[in-house]
Amino acid sequence: MGLNLARLNSAHNVVSWLSNLLIKLKKEEMELVAVILWNLWNNRNGAVFDGSYKDPLSLVSFSLHFLSQFREANRNPMAAEHTTAIQQSILSQWKRPPAGYVKANFDGAIFVEGDISGIGVVIRDAEGNFMAGLAKQIPGIFAPEVIESYAAKAAVELLLDLHLPMIILEGDCLKVVKMLQTIETDASACGMLVDDILRDIQSFATWEASWVPRQLNNVAHRVPKYACSISNGCIWRDFPPDFIVTALAADIISD
């Protein structure tokens, strides 16, 4: 944004920081700052009250997409109304995998009050039918991308146990998905876990990794919270647990 970060770092409080931004940034840049701050606040509330947490890259990506749609709607309200309705219809639907594939949605969450984290996996076939799932509690608090990596790793391990040859890994953590897609990692804890995933994933005949926004990962998102309510992990085969049945049905109906 062309902003002098040294001056920002010297700001005494939020008010002076925002005042400095108003002076330094263009109107379009300030709009993005406002949207990101709004999403940061929502993200904080999710972490405190619901146990959900978006990783920073996903949060920025969502903010950019939201602002883009907002600007389009204000440029041409009549055309945008039709376009936005179509986009919302598409974006609000979980997509079944192609014929012959299975899709494993994974998610992780941290629960600060209990000093624990949880991971969840839900595997479905090309008809959207539940095949298997996993819930596991992990002691301790981890960075969001690390717990998401644990969830992706658990998904791959479960898929290997099921001997499924053509798979799609789908999650809402952009950093983890990008590492899988580009096959490029780093020396971080997240990177090392993704290295393990990339090694194991070569056992499949065909594999893909895809990113979805949190609302399209709704079924898997419900599982980590359940994982943190049980002392031992659990695996389901063929029959889903009661607490995700409604969400599974909603995904099938909307697709």
Are the beta carbons of 210 and 169 closer than 8 angstroms?
A: yes
Higher pLDDT, 112 or 55: 112
Supply 197's token pair: 């995933």
Measuring CA to CA, which residue among 65, 12, 28 is closest to residue 20? 12
User: pLDDT confidence of 137, banded at 50, 70, 90?
Assistant: very high
What's residue 196's pLDDT?
Answer: 96
Give the list of residues 6+ apart from residue 106 with CB closer than 8 angstroms, or none: 119, 120, 121, 122, 148, 151, 152, 154, 155, 169, 170, 171, 220
Phi, psi of 104 (to 5 degrees): -110, 110
What's residue 25's pLDDT?
Answer: 85
Are the beta carbons of 136 and 154 closer than 8 angstroms?
A: yes
SS3 content of the chain, % helix, strand, coil (to 5): 55, 20, 25
pLDDT tens per residue across span 166-202: 999 999 999 999 999 999 888 899 999 999 999 999 9
% the chain with pLDDT above 90: 50
Are the beta carbons of 143 and 189 closer than 8 angstroms?
A: yes
User: pLDDT confidence of 165, banded at 50, 70, 90?
Assistant: very high
What's residue 75's pLDDT?
Answer: 67
Has residue 117 got a pLDDT over 60? Answer: yes
Has residue 84 got a pLDDT over 70? Answer: no
Has residue 89 got a pLDDT over 60? Answer: no
Over residues 126-144, the mean pLDDT reads 93
If you ran DSSP here, which 8-state letter would residue 95 be given?
Answer: P
Model confidence, pTM: 0.67
206-211/166-171 β-pairing: parallel
55-68 as b/e: b if 16+ CB within 10 A: bebbbbebbeeebe
Residue 171 pairs in a beta bridge with 211
Are the beta carbons of 20 and 7 closer than 8 angstroms?
A: yes
Rounded to an integer, what distance in angstroms lies between the CA atom of residue 103 and that of residue 97?
6
What domains sit in the chain, N to C, each tagged with a CATH number? 5-91 (no CATH), 102-254 (3.30.420.10)
What's residue 37's pLDDT?
Answer: 85
